[in-house]
Amino acid sequence: MSITLVLFLIVVGITLVITAWAARRTRTTVQFWAAGRTIKGWQNGLAIAGDYMSAASFLGIAGLIAFNGYDGFMYSVGWLVAYLTVLFLIAEPMRNTGKYTMADVLSYRMSPVPVRSAAAISTVAVSASYMMAQMIGAGSLIKILLPDLDKNLRPYFDWAIFGTKLDPSIALVGLMMMIYVIVGGMVATTWVQIVKAVLLMGGAILLSLLVLFYFNFNFLAFFDKIHSVKDSATKLPFTSPGILYPYGKATIWGVDKALVENVSLGMALILGTAGLPHILMRFFTVPNAKAARTSVAWAMGLIGSFYVMTTFLGFGAAALIGKANICAQVVSGFKCAPGLKPNNNMSMPRLADFLGSYFFGTTGGEFLLAFIAAVAFATILAVVAGLTLAASSAFSHDFYVNVVRTHLFHGTVSEREQVLVARITAALVGLLSIWLAAKTGATANVAALVAGVAFVIAASANLPAILFTLFWKRFNTWGAVASLVGGTVVTIWLVAVGPGWTLPAVAHPAFPLQNVGIVAIPVGFVLAIVGTYVGELFKADRLAELRFHEIDVRAQTGVGAEASPMPA
Partner 1 sequence: MEVGKTLPAQKAPPGEEAPPELAAEAAHWEGLEETPEFKELVRARWRFVAPATVFFLVYYFALPLSNGLFPNVMRTEIIGHINLAYLFALSEFVMAWVLAYFYIRQATRVFDPLAEKVRERAARGQKG
DSSP string of 316-328, one letter each residue: HHHHHT-GGG-SS
**Can you tell me whether residue 165 is helix, strand or coil?**
strand
Point out which span in 196-204, 206-214, 224-232, 498-506 binds partner 1 (CB under 8 A). Answer: 224-232
Q: Give the closest residue to 455 by CA, choosing from 280, 276, 296, 259.
A: 276
Residues 528-547 that bind partner 1 (CB under 8 A): 539-544, 546-547
Applying CB under 8 A, which of residues 5, 259, 340, 428 lies at the interface with partner 1? 259
Of the candidate spans 107-115, 120-128, 165-173, 433-441, the one that interacts with partner 1 by CB under 8 A turns out to be 107-115
CB environment 464-480: b (16+ within 10 A), e (fewer): bbbbbbbebeebbbbbb
Residues 441-480 that bind partner 1 (CB under 8 A): 477
User: Residues 24, 37, 165, 227: which binds partner 1 (CB under 8 A)?
Assistant: 227
Per CB under 8 A, contacts with partner 1 among 36-55 are: none
Candidate residues 9, 37, 100, 424; the one interacting with partner 1 per rule CB under 8 A: 100
Angle between helices 112-145 and 3-30 (to 10 degrees): 150
The answer to whether 63 and 347 are in contact (CB under 8 A) is yes
174 touches partner 1 by CB under 8 A: no
Closest residue by Cα to residue 501 from 301, 236, 265, 285: 265
Nearer to partner 1, 19 or 140 (CB): 19
Instruction: For partner 1, give the closer residue by CB, 262 or 343.
Output: 262
Residue 305 to residues 53, 55, 80, 531, Cα–Cα distance (Å): 12, 17, 10, 41
Four-point Cα dihedral 67, 73, 76, 80, nearest 10: -170
> Counting contacts by CB under 8 A, is residue 308 touching partner 1?
yes
Chain Cα centroid distance, residue 117 = 23
Indicate the DSSP class of residue 402: I
- Cα dihedral 169, 173, 179, 185, rounded to 10, equals -160
Measured from the CB of residue 439, what is the shortest distance to partner 1 in angstroms?
29
User: Judged by CB under 8 A, does residue 217 bind partner 1?
Assistant: no
d(CA 366, CA 362): 6
Q: Are 368 and 178 in contact (CB under 8 A)?
A: no
- The C-alpha R_g of the chain, in whole angstroms, comes to 23
Q: Does 424 bind partner 1 (CB under 8 A)?
A: no
Nearer to partner 1 (CB atom), residue 27 or residue 165: 27
Judged by CB under 8 A, which of 40, 165, 230, 293 binds partner 1? 293
User: Using the rule CB under 8 A, is 216 a contact of partner 1?
Assistant: no
**Phi/psi of residue 339, nearest 5 degrees:** 85, -5
| 342 is a site residue for partner 1 (CB under 8 A) | no
Nearer to partner 1, 166 or 286 (CB): 286
x-or-dash string of contact with partner 1, 134-173, rule CB under 8 A: ----------------------------------------
Footprint of partner 1 on 61-80 (CB under 8 A):
70, 73-74, 76-78, 80
Using the rule CB under 8 A, give the single segment among 306-314, 348-356, 358-366, 367-375 that binds partner 1.
306-314
Q: Sign of dihedral through CA atoms 212, 216, 222, 225?
A: negative
Q: Kindly indicate which of the ranges 148-156, 201-209, 221-229, 450-458 contains the residues binding partner 1, using the contact rule CB under 8 A.
A: 221-229
**How many residues at the interface with partner 1, by CB under 8 A?**
93
Please give the Cα distance from 15 to 376 (Å, whole number).
11
Contact status: 311 vs partner 1 (CB under 8 A): yes
DSSP designation for 505: P
Which residues inside 375-414 make contact with partner 1, applying CB under 8 A?
Answer: 389, 392-393, 396-397, 401-402, 406, 413
Q: Which is nearer to partner 1, 89 or 153 (CB)?
A: 89
